[in-house]
Structure 1
Amino acid sequence: MAGNRAVAYMGAGKVEVQDIDYPDLVLRDGPGVNPLNVGRKCEHGVIIKVITTNICGSDQHMVRGRTTAPEGLVLGHEITGEVIETGRDVEFIQKGDMVSVPFNIACGRCQNCREQHTHVCLNVNPDRPGSAYGYVDMGGWVGGQSEYVMVPYADFQLLKFPDKDQAMDKIMDLTMLSDIFPTGYHGAVSAGVHPGATVYVAGAGPVGLAAAHSAQLLGASVVIVGDLIPERLEQARSFGCETINLRDHDDLGEQIDQILGTPEVDCAIDAVGFEASAHGQNAQEAPATVLNSIMDITRAAGQLGIPGLYVTEDPGAADEAAKQGSLSIRFGLGWAKAHTFVTGQTPVMKYHRDLMNSILHGKANIAKAVNATLISLDEAPHGYQQFDSGVAKKFVIDPHGLVRN
């Protein structure tokens, strides 16, 4: 039997490449696996040879020790690969198919899945609706920053690429379909971005850059990106965004006024989440900063898309309330301005086929927007270190050396 190697979380600030079991069509016991999921048979699943798998900011939250993730948890929920084995109950996906794997695990049979709410499937996580690969409290499905991975409910979930050679030519873009591109796009859609809209995106990490590019695809007239790191802001400017350095300026409305002639935007997107920082020099972590600031600078009756991650438990938070996910949000301001808030994980399947076609036909250039950077599996620990330092890169792991530079 073939071996398998994977990236595992080994405690705050530490990841290792380890030898792990080759996957089969049963969810086995292991770090983070929900006891009620152990032994779950997945004849509706497939084994995938991973072509690309990406490091995500959500992974980084775990690696920083800001969740209750157990040591030994295999990381990775952004997966693209080739099907090499199919379960008995798989009818439409075949060996040799090249596919994108949505990071949400969804059964396709429950009420939520039938209503396209695949991000909160009722049947894949015994603790709460919604599940994902290699993520804390998400049912314990083994992560995909590995050479091989098992994917359940294959007929329902997998997005098959029409042509393998074409897909390999566009692989650095297509690898973003498992999470980051749909997540950024969902943030823009949730914020009500439309032709002519003015848009503010909080955060110039990969999700923020994906949201900014998505806002452009949706016809925004101006996209403004705010961040604390100059290199990330430079990356946003590289594809036509206006930028605000929040380290140098603590009055966001004033900076927007200088760009637009008004201190408000039509739409705003929070691509930061619970590890947000206050604005200005020497600013410290202040998790409600982004939510409060985007309410302040979004016009009355505007919409707020919130793809940034918020958690129910944050052991590294500065105060007891934040450790339970309770933040000091100016909800009264949002109520008074009649804002619409859209939160939660992204229902990837709602968007990924359309976004695939946008990539294949040259309308979307998401790899350029997020500065996709290829690394090997053995380079993954260093990639996590670089990502944590704030570099303006989206790291794409190539476990088998199959991607042409």
Structure 2
Amino acid sequence: MADTNRGVVYQGSGTVTVEDLDYPELTLHEQNGRRLQHGAILKVLATNICGSDQHMVRGRTTAPVGQTLGHEITGEVIELGSDVEFIKKGDLVSVPFNIACGRCRNCKERNTGVCENVNPARAGAAYGYVDMGGWRGGQARYVTVPYADFNLLKIPADRDTVMAKLTDLAMLSDIFPTGYHGAYTAGVTTGSTVYVAGAGPVGLACATACLLLGAAVVIVGDMVDSRLEQARSFGCETIDLSAHGDLPEQIEQVLGVPEVDAAVDCVGFEARGHGKDAGEQPATVLNSVMEITRAAGGIGIPGLYVTGDPGGVDENAQVGQLGIRIGLGWAKSHVFTTGQCPVMRYNRQLMMAILHDRVQIARNVNATVIPLDDAPAGYREFDQGAARKYVLDPHGLVNA
């Protein structure tokens, strides 16, 4: 008899609960009417709370009540569809948050964040996320993964090694590749000076990626003291954006010039203006990074922007139409890269960096393990600005 399943469910603005869920099946009529002979069922070993989840839980998306949550999944394969050839039962795997078919033009070009076949509404799908194809979330004891041979990254190490590094490997499903994508597409390389907007988990992962890529100076800006302290703990310079609003002046105090080679927006559409009493100004980060990035520099934008925000500050913000100074970016010949990170471009290389001790991503993002049933408390603490990356432990196996 199959084990029971439980998972995290959105219950309306500000509220999540942990509920009994149906055990996954490989015949899933509620998931786009597909029979998943190409899929696998995973026992979830670790699954994380993401800032993107927090946008939903705050009521800042059109997510319906009853939406299951969770797109950062690391697990053990326990059941396979009849068409799966290469993934085997017992494999320990990382799951890219992008769901991809491996067959369409975008997947063949490695643009797996915008797969054309897994979401009837638009290109691109993800587990447990609003408007992303109706796939069940992975903040649960068990979850189904479609197109298993294509999507799953097998971790090539013995079980003891994987379990010992599980909090690091758990970052491969989203935030580490996402932070790396922001840095890489901004052109960060040996000797770069970089500004990272936001010291949440993705911002800290991006700062880690910048250092891994060889940046000379990484400056992280945020308004929460504990998050800035976390950034300093692994060698970043920091700027307290709540102190005053003159970002170029603060950059100059660090570098001697008021500009950087590259910048990365790790905040997204709930950005606040700079200064102590500033309210929400969703275009703040986009405009500020154009201001302080040198001419011909690059800007990575992994921070989330949405097309529907019921809590937006005005009618334009509610449909994702922001007051961006595109003329400034044009005049400075900036290169912008936006959208979901295509995780498969990076996850294998980053996995090898973890397995061979080239990076300490769990330490840098302050990974904090909590039981699955404590997820509501984790969401509350994260919403209050906790300088932590919460890792849910559905089976009590992390660090066991």
In the superposition, the TM-score normalised over structure 2's length comes to 0.99
- Identity across aligned pairs (percent)? 68
Contact 2:222–2:239 at 8 Å: present in 1 too?
yes
Is the CA contact (8 Å cut-off) linking 2:29 and 2:35 kept in structure 1? no
Q: Using the TM superposition, give the Cα deviation of residue 2 of structure 1 relative to its aligned residue in structure 2, in angstroms.
A: 2.3
In structure 2, runs of 5+ residues without a counterpart are none
Q: Deviations over 1:46-65 (max 9, x none)?
A: 00000000000000000000
Is the Cα contact below 8 Å between 2:23 and 2:142 reproduced in 1? Answer: yes
Q: 2:112 matched to 1:118?
A: yes
Structure 1 outlier segments of 4+, above 4 Å: none
Question: Partner of 2:131 in structure 1?
Answer: 137
SS of 2:205's partner is: helix
> Counterparts of 1:5-84 in structure 2 under 5 Å?
5-29=6-30, 37=32, 39-84=33-78
Matched to 1:6, the amino acid is G
Shift of 1:134: 0.1
Task: Report the equivalent of 1:94.
Answer: 88
Alpha-carbon distance between aligned partners in 2 of 1:127 and 1:404, rounded to the nearest angstrom? 40
Q: 2 CA distance for matches of 1:41 and 1:318?
A: 42
User: What is the match of residue 186 of structure 2?
Assistant: 191
Trace 1:196-211 onto structure 2 (pairs within 5 A).
Answer: 196-211=191-206
Is 1:287 the counterpart of 2:288? The answer is: no
Alignment of 1:250-329 (within 5 A): 250-329=245-324
What is aligned with 1:397?
Answer: 392
What are the Cα deviations for residues 334-364 of structure 1, in whole angstroms up to 9, with x where unaligned? 0000000000000000100000000000001
Q: CA deviation at 1:404?
A: 1.5
Cα distance in 2, alignment partners of residues 389 and 339 from structure 1: 34
Q: Does 1:355 align with 2:357?
A: no
* Preserved CA contact (<8 Å) 1:27 1:141: no
1:369 is the counterpart of 2:370: no
CA-atom RMSD in angstroms: 0.7
C-alpha distance in structure 1 between counterparts of 2:341 and 2:274, whole Å? 27
Aligned match of 2:103 in 93, 104, 109?
109
CA offsets, 1:288-319, max 9 Å, x none?
A: 00000000000000000000000000000010
2:232 to 211, 229, 237: 237
- Structure 2: distance between partners of 1:247 and 1:21: 46
TM-score by structure 1 length? Answer: 0.98
Deviation at 1:26, TM superposition (A): 2.6
Task: Report the Cα distance in structure 2 between the residues aligned to 1:28 and 1:54, rounded to whole angstroms.
Answer: 27
Per the TM alignment, residue 165 of structure 1 is displaced from its structure 2 partner at its CA by 1.6
2:219 matches 1:224: yes
CA distance in 1, matches of 2:290, 2:354: 33
Per-residue deviation, 1:328: 0.2
Equivalent in 247, 256, 259 of residue 242 of structure 2: 247
- Alpha-carbon deviations, 1:59-113, whole Å to 9, x = none? 0000000000000111000000000000000000010000000000000000000
Following superposition, the deviation at residue 28 of structure 1 comes to 3.6
Aligned-partner residue type, residue 190 of structure 1: T
Contact 1:75/1:143 (CA < 8 Å) preserved in 2? yes
Partners of 1:351 and 1:192 in 2: how far apart?
15
Cα distance change, pair 305–287 in 1 and its aligned pair in 2 (3 A): same
Name the CA distance, whole Å, in 2 between partners of 1:283 and 1:71: 31
- Corresponding residue SS for 1:74: coil
Output one character per residue of 1:191-238: Cα deviation in whole Å (capped at 9) or x when no partner: 100100000000000000000000000000000000010110000000
Matching residue of 1:146: 140
Shift of 1:177: 0.2
Deviations 1:163-192 (A, max 9, x none): 222111110100000000000000000110
Residue 160 (structure 1) shift:
0.5
Say how many residue pairs are matched: 398
Separation in 2, partners of 1:276, 1:72: 27
Counterpart amino acid of residue 79 in structure 1: I
SS at match of 1:247: coil
